[in-house]
Structure 1
Amino acid sequence: MPRPRSLSPDRLAAAALAVLDRDGLTGLSMRTVAKELGMSTMALYRYVDGREELEGMVVELVLSSVDTTPPADPSAPWRERIAVMLGRMRDAVGRHPAVIPLTPAHRHSAPTILRWSETVLALLAEAGYEGERRVVALRALVGYLIGAIQLEHQGPLSGAGTVELGELPRDSFPLLADTARHARRVPADREFFGGLDILLRGLGD
């Protein structure tokens, strides 16, 4: 039987996102989303097959604001344009950090991720990347993006962990302690785009 239409996909995704934002990834379940919507868990199954489908809907809702078109200035260096594309994704996902772990699992089905990837691949192709080299380049960029966002929100340089590292005994960990003391002064944008610049320069070799 066809699913009822009284509950739109956007409303379902918004309810799941509300649970994620409030309770984190461990709090997301069919039961908690049903409760958020004021309905029974069994009734929710009339609209979605299960948690995996809910996750995909949430990912697409969060990323739907991402501009997946190429950066406006086609004369800008390809590295700068790729940095713009990664910055757009970082901004969208960063507003809902609990969604970060869900993005890799749904990268093949979320329309926004597919369009974003196509744009980045076009920029890599423009830079001369082909075949396996383009595969590795895209994976490196996506890996950096996901890892950097996770670190920014789950282990920020401004956090207590950095302070603890900075207080390590210098006779045992001289470089780690010194690096941590410098890290406390690095803003999040500098960390993200500075690391990305290092990666992109490596890709340019």
Structure 2
Amino acid sequence: MPRPRSLTPDQLASAALAVIDRDGLPGLSMRAVAQELGMSTMGLYRYVHDRDELERLVVELVLNAVDSGPPDPDASWRERIEVMARRLRDTVGAHPAVVPLTITHRHHSLGVLRWSETVTAVLTEAGIEGDRRVIALRGLLGYIIGAIQLEHLGPLSGPGTTAITELPPAEFPHMTETARDARNISADQEFLGGLALLLDGLGA
């Protein structure tokens, strides 16, 4: 007779998330999560089959925390999309190492499906339907996920930008000037500015 389960999926996901936050995504393993939970690796296999299942639990835990409720109906469609974009950025950005997992496992997450349902409803009200709605939703998701990675893994004020400012100006005049300008742009300014360009392109 099997032993009764004593750990919930959220507890397993929280332990896996703690490992990722501390050691990065490469540090995630069945052994590391088992140690985080104070149990044997074989004992963890009573709950999940492999690392892939752990990844799905982590994604669900993080994305379920995203507020997917409809924004203020009196706001413009652009303002409502901005609210939804901020919600996803703020929640996932708290655990930037998880971002690659959201790309791989987003289709299994009820959290991202609920967020996407709210966003597509706003797009539909704005007259964006059919193929344009598909492209708009994927464009928004791609932008937000990419922006989170750039913000946390390659910020504008980071060493990469500094290195670009030191390139030969005669050979890279535009890149060196852009890198110098980048030092004065905040993460919020960069994110919202890029989002505005994307929404301008939708032209609803």
Fold equivalence (TM over 0.5): yes
Does the aligned pair in 2 maintain the 1:4–1:47 contact within 8 Å? no
Give the alignment's TM-score, normalised by structure 1: 0.96
Alignment correspondent of 1:116 = 115
Matches within 5 A, 1:72-111: 73-111=72-110
Alignment correspondent of 1:133 = 132
Alignment correspondent of 1:36 = 36
Alignment correspondent of 2:10 = 10
Does the aligned pair in 1 maintain the 2:64–2:112 contact within 8 Å? no
Letter in 2 for 1:168: L
Alignment correspondent of 1:57 = 57
How far apart, in 2, do the equivalents of 1:3 and 1:173 lie? 65
Give the alignment's TM-score, normalised by structure 2: 0.96
> What percent of counterpart residues are identical?
68
Quote the offset at 1:3 in angstroms: 7.5
Quote the offset at 1:111 in angstroms: 1.1
RMSD: 1.3
Question: Unpaired segments of 5 or more residues in structure 1?
Answer: none
For residue 189 of structure 2, give the secondary structure of its aligned residue in structure 1.
helix
In terms of fraction of residues, the more helix-rich structure is 2
Does the aligned pair in 2 maintain the 1:19–1:33 contact within 8 Å? yes
Letter in 2 for 1:116: W
Cα deviation digits, residues 22-70 of structure 1 (max 9, x gap): 1100000111111111111111111012111111111121222211011
How far apart, in 2, do the equivalents of 1:47 and 1:2 lie? 12
Alignment correspondent of 2:153 = 154
How far apart, in 1, do the equivalents of 2:74 and 2:11 lie? 41
How far apart, in 2, do the equivalents of 1:88 and 1:34 lie? 31
Does the aligned pair in 2 maintain the 1:66–1:89 contact within 8 Å? yes
